[in-house]
Amino acid sequence: MRPRFHSSRRAVTRLPKNPFHPGKILLEEFLTPGNMTQAALAHKLGWTRARLNKLIKGK
């Protein structure tokens, strides 16, 4: 049996099965290699430390 497609035949966008969380990227690409604290990055971004910490923790 053939799979059914919409008549518009739009391109299907495939998402990765396990996309990276933005907080993990911040931690692994910016904080750890740059020896930067969460407080310092939060200040540069204009965020509170609590907001940045929630993002990094995935909350």
pTM score, whole prediction:
0.64
Q: Please report which confidence band the pLDDT of residue 13 belongs to, taking 50, 70 and 90 as the band edges.
A: confident
Q: Which domain holds residue 45?
A: 22-57
In a domain, 27, yes or no: yes
Number of domains in the chain: 1
Residue 47 CA to chain centroid, in angstroms? Answer: 16
pLDDT of residue 36: 94
Q: Which residues contact 14 (CB under 8 A, 6 or more apart)?
A: none
In a domain, 7, yes or no: no
Kindly state the helix (H) or strand (E) to which residue 52 belongs, with its residue range. Answer: helix 49-57
In a domain, 47, yes or no: yes
Q: Is 29 within 8 Å of 22 (Cβ atoms)?
A: no
In a domain, 5, yes or no: no
Q: Is 56 within 8 Å of 38 (Cβ atoms)?
A: yes
In a domain, 15, yes or no: no
CA separation for the pair 36, 48 (Å, rounded): 15
In a domain, 36, yes or no: yes
Residue with tokens 């929630």: 54
